[in-house]
Structure 1
Amino acid sequence: MPALKANSGVKGIIRSTEIDTRMLGMIGALVVIWVLFHFLSGGIFLSPRNLWNLTVQTSSIAVMATGMVLVIVTRNIDLSVGSLLGFTGMAMAALQTDVLPQYLGLDNPFTWVVALILGIALGVVIGGLQGYVIAFLGVPSFIVTLGGLLVWRGGAWWLTSGRTVAPLDDTFRLMGGGAEGSLGTTWTWIIALVACVLVAASMVMARKRRTKFGFPLRPVWAELAIAVFAFVVLAGAAAVFNAYEWPSMIAARYAKAHGMTVPEGGLHIGYGVAIPVLMAIVTGIVMTFVSRRTRFGRYVFAIGGNPEAAELAGINTRWVLMKVFMLMGGLAAIAGAIATARLNAATNALGTLDELYTIAAAVIGGTSLAGGAGTIAGALIGALVMQSLQSGMVLLGVDSPLQSIVVGIVLVIAVWIDSVYRRRAA
Structure 2
Amino acid sequence: MSEATSAVPADRARTTAAGPVASFLKATELDTRMLGMIGALVLIWAGFHLLSGGLFLTPRNLWNLSVQSSSIAVMATGMVLVIVTRNIDLSVGSILGFVGMVMGVVQAELLPQSLDFGNPWIWVIALVVGIGVGAMIGGLQGYVIAYLGVPAFIVTLGGLLVWRGAAWWVTSGRTVAPMDATFRLMGGGPAGSIGATWSWIIGIVGCVAVMLVLVNGRIQRKRFAFPLRPVWAEIFLGVVASALILGAVWIVNSYPWPIGIVRRHFEGLGLPVPEDVFIAHGIAIPVLIALGAGLAMTFIATRTRFGRYVFAIGGNPEAAELAGINTRWVVMKIFILMGALAAVGSAISTARLNAATNAQGTLDELLVIAAAVIGGTSLAGGAGTVAGAMLGAVLMQSLQSGMVLLGVDTPLQNIVVGLVLVVAVWVDTIYRRRVQ
TM-score range, shorter chain: over 0.9
Q: Identify the match of residue 200 of structure 1 among 189, 211, 224.
A: 211
Cα distance change of structure 1 residues 196 and 260 upon mapping to structure 2, 3 Å threshold: farther
Mind listing any 5+ residue stretches in structure 1 that lack a counterpart? Answer: 1-6
Q: Secondary structure at 2:98's aligned position in 1?
A: helix
Superposition pairs for residues 52-71 of structure 1, below 5 Å? 52-71=63-82
Deviation string for 1:288-320 (max 9, x for gaps)?
Answer: 000000011000000000000000010000000
Identity of counterpart residues, as a percentage? 68
CA distance in 2, matches of 1:260, 1:364: 50
Deviation string for 1:155-177 (max 9, x for gaps)?
Answer: 00000010000000000000000
CA distance in 1, matches of 2:234, 2:195: 32
Q: Quick check: 1:380 aligned with 2:390?
A: yes
CA distance in 1, matches of 2:37, 2:129: 37
Q: Secondary structure at 2:193's aligned position in 1?
A: coil
Instruction: Note the C-alpha offset of 1:98.
Output: 1.1
- The residue that corresponds to 1:137 in the other structure is 148
The letter for the 2-side match of 1:311 is E
CA distance in 2, matches of 1:122, 1:319: 19
Superposition pairs for residues 106-185 of structure 1, below 5 Å? 106-185=117-196
Instruction: Note the C-alpha offset of 1:268.
Output: 1.1
Instruction: Note the C-alpha offset of 1:62.
Output: 0.2
- The residue that corresponds to 2:56 in the other structure is 45
CA distance in 1, matches of 2:82, 2:144: 15
CA distance in 2, matches of 1:48, 1:171: 25
Superposition pairs for residues 358-397 of structure 1, below 5 Å? 358-397=368-407
Q: Identify the match of residue 344 of structure 2 among 330, 334, 337.
A: 334
Q: Quick check: 1:292 aligned with 2:302?
A: yes
Give the 4+ runs in structure 1 shifted more than 3 A: none
The letter for the 1-side match of 2:152 is S
CA distance in 2, matches of 1:201, 1:186: 23
Q: Secondary structure at 2:87's aligned position in 1?
A: coil
- The residue that corresponds to 2:28 in the other structure is 17
Instruction: Note the C-alpha offset of 1:8.
Output: 4.4
Q: Identify the match of residue 403 of structure 1 among 398, 404, 413.
A: 413
CA distance in 2, matches of 1:83, 1:263: 47
Give the TM-score normalised by the residue count of structure 2: 0.95
Q: Secondary structure at 2:232's aligned position in 1?
A: helix
Instruction: Note the C-alpha offset of 1:262.
Output: 2.3
Q: Identify the match of residue 242 of structure 1 among 249, 253, 259.
A: 253
Deviation string for 1:362-407 (max 9, x for gaps)?
Answer: 0000000000000000000000000000000111111111111111
CA distance in 2, matches of 1:290, 1:11: 31
Note the aligned Cα RMSD (angstroms).
0.9
Which has the higher Rg, Structure 1 or Structure 2?
2
Deviation string for 1:49-101 (max 9, x for gaps)?
Answer: 00000000000000000000000000000000000000001100000111111
- The residue that corresponds to 2:93 in the other structure is 82
- The residue that corresponds to 1:26 in the other structure is 37
Q: Quick check: 1:191 aligned with 2:202?
A: yes
**How many correspondences in the alignment?**
419
CA distance in 1, matches of 2:269, 2:246: 30
Mind listing any 5+ residue stretches in structure 2 that lack a counterpart? Answer: 1-17
CA distance in 2, matches of 1:401, 1:104: 44
Give the TM-score normalised by the residue count of structure 1: 0.97
CA distance in 1, matches of 2:194, 2:177: 25
